Amino acid sequence: MDRLRQMFNVVADGNGNASAASIKRHILASGIQLDDFRLSITMERLGALGEGPISFESFVALVGDELLMLKRTFNRELVIPDWEEYCTDLRMIHDRVANDRSGNNANYIPILRDADPEKWGVAVCSVDGQRLEIGDVDVYHSIQSVSKPLTYAYAIEREGPEFLQSYVGVEPSGRPFNSLELLPDMRPFNPCVNAGAIMTAGVVASSWPEKDARAITGEIMKLWSELCGEVAPVRFSEETMLSERETADNNFAIAYLLRGGKGLPRGVDLHKMLDLYLSCCSIEMTASMLSVAAATLANGGVCPITGRQVLTTDVVKKTLSVMQAAGMYDSAGVFTLEVGLPAKSGVAGAVMTVVPNLMGLATFSPRLDSYGNSVRGVAFCRQLVELFTFHIYDSLSGGRTGCKRDPRASQHNRKQRDLSDLQWAVSHGDRYATKVRDLLLECMIAITLADGEIEEPEIVIMAETYVEIMGHQPKQGELHAMARASQEQIAISGSGPFEQLLQRLRDECLQLDDNAREMILEAAFRVACADGIIEPEEDFQLRGIADALCINEGVLELEIARFQRQRAAQPSVVAG
């Protein structure tokens, strides 16, 4: 009963009652939608209760059938516990990327050429069904090459990997997506270049001799619908299809080359094969839908918002491997190097990206770079990975990621654990912990003296920060004495202490893990914010400390942005 009482206290008011509005508000704050299938009984009962007060006894009866899901929701135990903070960070990246207006729309067919280049949206869905939508996420657009890996997955499920691989390779091509070049055995390089996608369509088309291309496309659209949890209808664009067919000379050349080389699967009709390929490119979806489809892949084939197993885990592994190696056209290698995530782009402006075991995301912006990838979509992914531990090889960092965030862990809980460990270790004379404490103090004093003055509010913040980190008050006058000693050294040498501090930080950096470096920077940051504004001299020193500690610049920008948001949210004082 104690655990039920704890759950109730999360949503209860000062009078000891909960309400439907409070329960719904906490569910939404966790990222879960009110129509989530795992809360359907609770939502139905809430509707019957109306808007009156809900006692503890009524709450127990209300949540019984879906207790575990509600416990995870109320107690912040979903895969991304600090959901609202994470969403704020993603909105910041979205807004920053919005300023990039480089690139151009694809222009080979009118519907792509005439699309509004200013459209920009980002949608996210976690493997627990937490969802975020920013900007133009409900704009239908043809998925184009985003269709390729899922047509590949469909072919594997229907025909098996051995048969498919006898016709389509899985090697990166390093060539433009519409290249006519093939492997030495005359197979296409992989399913994500046009030749490979056309041959994959041939494998699927040959398995349905009784159906035409449009009917088979309908079957693949059903797969897409299940992948995105049927959040909206999957559509087909006849206009796109007709335009694609009218400009398909290069694709016809590829098809004839395939037929003349390797030969087509089961002698499938070349025109049926091409029509299926072009029809799959003409499927229309939204970024919101694609994010759920990506989350289904991130979740091993189980759709997070329906609970259905749409694809087997083995098929998903093969699909993600192909996306990793070849999903971003002939810049796939650079994308893997910088972003390190499986992704697939389309020339209508979509980028669908998968963070395995965590989330799927989709971006939409029609302006493309020279490779045919959405400029903003790629920029968003790059900035995302600069701030969060999403790169496939971040786990090899040995605790030195540049202090990137891991949204899978509660930042508050982690900080409390780290501080407790530091206090305990320092009290027992641990050399490493003592070094962290000393560096932390030196950085706080450096920020205090950034403008050359020792100001009382900064000394107070230093003392408060010291108490929070070390668990006890500093010795009487210790902080003042240390600050004065540094001030005197500056007066004698002209500069000295700060440059020496930066050099020491550089020397010690490789011996400090992310947790220690983050605590040092945060302590300096709190002192810089003591008077409610970060002065230019303080900003300069903060950036110097972050650089010396090898902390990603974007991580510091996150902290500054959070501080500015908090400042803006505070009520202003109006002079009388």
pLDDT tens-place string over residues 146-185: 999 999 999 999 999 999 999 999 998 878 888 899 999 9
Lowest mean pLDDT among 53-67, 142-156, 317-331, 415-429: 415-429
Nearest one of 113, 139, 144 to 279, comparing CA atoms: 144
Distance CA 492, CA 503 (A): 19
Looking at residue 573, its pLDDT comes to 41
Domain edges within the chain:
2-74, 95-388, 411-569
The answer to whether 446 touches 501, Cβ cutoff 8 Å, is: yes
Most confident listed range (134-138, 174-178, 451-455, 486-490): 134-138
Looking at residue 40, its pLDDT comes to 92
Alpha-carbon dihedral angle through residues 132, 138, 143, 146, given to the nearest 10 degrees: 0
| Residue spans of alpha helices (H) in 114-263 | 147-159, 161-165, 194-206, 213-227, 238-246, 249-260
- The yes-or-no verdict on residue 492 having pLDDT over 80 is no
Confidence of residue 560 (pLDDT cuts 50, 70, 90): confident
- The yes-or-no verdict on residue 567 having pLDDT over 60 is yes
Residue 262 three-state SS:
coil
Q: Which CATH architecture has domain 2-74?
A: Orthogonal Bundle (1.10)
Q: What angle do CA 558, 564, 566 make, to 5 degrees?
A: 105
Top-level CATH class of 95-388?
alpha beta
* Average pLDDT, integer, range 570-576: 47
The reply to whether 95-388 shares the fold of 2-74 is: no
pLDDT tens-place string over residues 42-55: 999 998 888 889 98
pTM of the model: 0.86
What's the chain's average pLDDT?
89
Looking at residue 575, its pLDDT comes to 37
- The yes-or-no verdict on residue 399 having pLDDT over 90 is no
